[in-house]
Structure 1
Amino acid sequence: MQNNIINTITLCLLATLITACQRAQTTENTMESEVDSRVELTLDAIRSHPDIEIGTLQTRSIQTQVACTGMLDIPPTDRISVHSKVEGFLTDLRFIDGDFVKQGTVLARIENISFVQKQKQLLELKAQLELAKNNCNAKNCLTHKQQPAKKALTKHKVNWHC
Structure 2
Amino acid sequence: MTLSKRLFLMILLLANLGGCKETDKPAETGNPETSGDSTQKEAEAGTVELTEAQYQTAGIKLGSIESRTLSNLIRVNGILNAPPQQQVSVATHYGGILATANHLAGTSVRKGQVLAVLENPEFIRLQQEYLETESQLTFQQQEYDRQRELSRENVGALKTFQQATAQLGLLKARAEGLRQQLALLGIPMARLRAGTISRTVEIRSPIDGTITESNVNRGHYVNANDVLFELVGTSGLLAELTVFEGDIAKVQIGQRVRISIVGETRERMGRIKLINRQTATDRTVKVYASLDGSGLSRPGTFLKAAIETTASPESALPEGAIVQAGNQSQVFVFDQKVTHDGATHYRFRPVPVRAGIVENGYRAVTLPADFKPDWKIVIAGAYDLLSVMNNVEEEE
TM-score band w.r.t. shorter chain: 0.3 to 0.5
Task: Name the one with the larger strand percent.
Answer: 2
Q: With structure 2 as the length reference, what TM-score do the two structures score?
A: 0.18
TM, length-normalised to structure 1: 0.39
Structure with the bigger percentage of helix: 1
Bigger radius of gyration: 1
Q: Higher relative contact order at CA 8 Å, sep ≥6: structure 1 or structure 2?
A: 2
